[in-house]
Amino acid sequence: MRIYTPICDLFGIQFPVIQGGMAWIAGGRLAAAVSEAGGMGTIGCGNAPAEWLKKQIDIARSVTTRNFAVNLVMTSPFLRENLELIVREKIPVIATGGGNPGPYMAGLKEAGIKVMPVVASVALAKRLERLGADAFVVEGVESGGHVGEMSTMCIVPMVVDEVRVPVVAAGGIADGRGLVAALALGAQGAQMGTRFICATETDVHPNYQEKVIKTRDRSTVVCGETTGHPVRAIQNPFTHEYLKAERSGADVETLTKLGIGRYPLAAVEGDMINGSILCGQVVGLVKQVQPAAQIVTEVMTEAVALLQRLGGLPC
């Protein structure tokens, strides 16, 4: 038995398992390893320039001939040059986060590129579907990094009911149970970020992976609600300092200054005290560092076994 959904056809992949873009963590090596294993890998571009992205695309293509995606943050100062590069390189799929990809949609579609915005509300999904989005990642508040306010369990079926294009569920999914739950909610696949932090092929500092493995439930917090850019991370002295400032009414400028550079401090330099360790609530299910292919295979094997078991339930 295989799990094959329309998302597999749309993106030319074997399994409906997508590795979410993660700036500073998910480069060409990780994206290629996930795609080579049958899922869809994603290079997380964040605020990096086109020179960096080109290098990661070349790394990925030296490992795999399979399709992989690029995740672009719409607020990046290098957005335009990265979009041009993606068109030149004929990247088949882009996932967009952190803003509205509407103005670029027509050009990308003309170039034959599938556009999959990350959304956290029905209204945004409907608006972007009208502009031509090919699929959506619908992300719940459980996820690591920037978060919306709705839980995955609630927002996924709401978007599924309102759009015609396929939906990929994200936020709180780390194993086969999560994938089956996503399918039950009407999604055509699952995107995981937190679980892939602990893939062998990431570019993340080993301290970050060690921290993720040691962290259990009730250990993440959301900082930045008052700035309009809430972010989920593992509690540490930095989040305590930030939340203390936020609760005592610090203004957006002060909070922005306090937060600048904290994520790369954790992801690149491995500073678990002063850095921001972006991570999802599902962290308690991540128990080891392992190759990306093993993660994809485990998730798929668990999901297939679970579907078979559920199919046998009396009704």
Ligand X SMILES: Cc1cc2nc3c(=O)[nH]c(=O)nc-3n(C[C@H](O)[C@H](O)[C@H](O)COP(=O)(O)O)c2cc1C
Residues in contact with ligand X by CB under 6 A are 20-23, 25, 44, 46, 71, 73, 97, 118, 139, 142-145, 170-173, 191-194, 197, 278-280, 282
Cβ-Cβ contacts under 8 Å for 37 (sequence gap 6 or more): 292, 293, 295, 296, 297
Q: How far is the CB of 172 from ligand X (least distance, A)?
A: 5
- Report whether 172 contacts 143 (CB < 8 A): yes
Q: Do the Cβ atoms of 114 and 134 come closer than 8 Å?
A: yes
Nearer to ligand X, 209 or 255 (CB): 209
Considering the complex, state which of residue 49 and residue 250 has its C-beta at the smaller distance from ligand X. Answer: 49
Between 128 and 170, name the residue whose CB sits nearer to ligand X: 170
- With beta carbons less than 8 A apart as the criterion, state whether 35 and 66 touch: yes
| Residue 191, strand partner residues | 18, 170
> Minimum distance between the CB of residue 96 and ligand X, rounded to whole angstroms?
7
Closest separation between CB of residue 266 and ligand X, Å?
A: 9
Q: How far is the CB of 84 from ligand X (least distance, A)?
A: 20
8 or 263: CB nearest ligand X: 263
Would you say 80 or 309 has its CB closer to ligand X?
Answer: 80
Cβ(28)–Cβ(56) below 8 Å: yes
Question: Cα dihedral sign for 229, 273, 261, 207?
Answer: negative
- Rounded CA separation 191/201 (Å): 17
Residue nearest to ligand X (CB): 193
Question: Cβ 35 to ligand X, closest distance in Å?
Answer: 15
